[in-house]
């Protein structure tokens, strides 16, 4: 089963170094398809858009998600259950439903679709994952340290900055990495909420596919795969290190 799942990716990576445009024929090793990518202004612009959207969406969703998680934890158990069930909806919803809903919302608000709407959309679907990453660390938080800080005269911003945030940093970092991975890898929501002249790497790859498969697409797909894989390995390594530390 693993061979069936990953063999196509392996073939894609191998043929991204193939010295011919013919599919299924190996003509020698080359890296000029990767060189062509980094000299293509369309690819460079898409790369810039992808990184910009991912960074902005990650920063905003991490800050808002962390504050939201802290606020959710202050509610009663029943209120927490209701809010968390609402938070699960974007996670369980098919991406196409979220994309069409956001596109309809931007149309209703008469917002011109472009870079701003894409960033807002990425914040929307990254936010629930950040909240779900931070909440478990808040559950492990010792309330005695918070109460002690208040007893010693600390104000709420100081308690948040010096007591709560340092103890939940691993959850914040995990949520940020997850948000960045989801944003950089997204296609469907970006495709429905972008405007003319604004596209990330996934949309550019889709546009290239309309003219047929070529090694440049294989090279671009390989780079995307490696980037997402590296982020996931980093995320898993953080989780393993945290488990070892807690044990």
Q: Compute the average pLDDT of residues 117-127.
A: 93
Question: Quick one: pLDDT at residue 247?
Answer: 46
Q: Is residue 1 in a domain?
A: no
**Mutual orientation of helices 215-246 and 201-209 as an angle, nearest 10°?**
150
Query: 243 pLDDT exceeds 60?
Result: no
Counted domains in the chain: 1
The tokens describing 147, both together, are 């109460």
- Count CA atoms closer than 13 A to 36's CA, side-chain side: 14
Tell me which DSSP letter residue 168 carries: S
Question: Quick one: pLDDT at residue 62?
Answer: 95
The tokens describing 216, both together, are 């440049």
Q: Is residue 20 in a domain?
A: no
Dist CA 217 CA 197 (whole Å): 20
Question: Quick one: pLDDT at residue 240?
Answer: 55
Provide the β-strand partners of residue 18.
29
Q: Is residue 22 in a domain?
A: no
- This prediction has a pTM of 0.80
Q: What is the CATH number of the domain that holds 228?
A: 1.10.3720.10
* pLDDT tens figures, 55-68: 999 999 999 999 99
Q: Is residue 110 in a domain?
A: yes
Q: Is residue 232 in a domain?
A: yes
Query: 244 pLDDT exceeds 70?
Result: no
* pLDDT tens figures, 201-230: 888 888 877 766 667 778 888 888 888 788
- Block residue for tokens 């989801």: 182
Q: Is residue 15 in a domain?
A: no
What is the residue-averaged pLDDT of the chain?
85
* pLDDT tens figures, 12-43: 888 888 877 766 677 778 888 888 887 888 88
Q: Where in 21-90 does DSSP place strands (E)?
A: none
Question: Quick one: pLDDT at residue 63?
Answer: 94
Reduced to 3 states (helix: H, G, I; strand: E, B; else coil), residue 94 is coil
Q: Is residue 242 in a domain?
A: yes
Reduced to 3 states (helix: H, G, I; strand: E, B; else coil), residue 128 is helix
Spacing of C-alpha 59 from chain mean position: 11
Q: Is residue 31 in a domain?
A: no
Domain that holds residue 60: 42-246
């Amino acid at each position: 089963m693993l061979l069936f799942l990953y063999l196509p990716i392996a073939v894609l990576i191998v043929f991204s170094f193939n010295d011919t445009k013919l599919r299924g024929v190996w003509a020698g090793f080359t890296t000029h398809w990767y060189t062509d990518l980094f000299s293509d202004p369309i690819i460079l612009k898409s790369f810039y858009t992808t990184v910009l959207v991912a960074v902005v969406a990650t920063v905003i969703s991490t800050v808002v998600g962390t504050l939201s998680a802290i606020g959710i934890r202050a509610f009663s158990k029943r209120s927490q259950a209701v809010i968390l069930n609402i938070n699960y909806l974007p996670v369980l919803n098919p991406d196409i439903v979220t994309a069409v809903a956001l596109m309809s919302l931007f149309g209703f608000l008469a917002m011109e679709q472009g870079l701003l709407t894409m960033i807002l959309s990425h914040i929307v679907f990254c936010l629930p994952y950040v909240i779900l990453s931070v909440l478990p660390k808040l559950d492990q938080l010792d309330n005695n340290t918070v109460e002690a800080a208040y007893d010693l005269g600390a104000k709420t911003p100081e308690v948040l900055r010096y007591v709560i945030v340092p103890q939940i940093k691993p959850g914040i970092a995990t949520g940020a990495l997850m948000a960045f991975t989801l944003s950089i890898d997204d296609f469907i929501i970006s495709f429905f909420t972008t405007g003319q002249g604004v596209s990330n790497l996934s949309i550019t790859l889709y546009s290239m596919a309309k003219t047929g498969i070529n090694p440049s697409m294989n090279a671009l797909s390989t780079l995307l795969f490696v980037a997402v894989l590296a982020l996931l390995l980093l995320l898993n390594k953080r989780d393993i290190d945290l488990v070892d530390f807690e044990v």
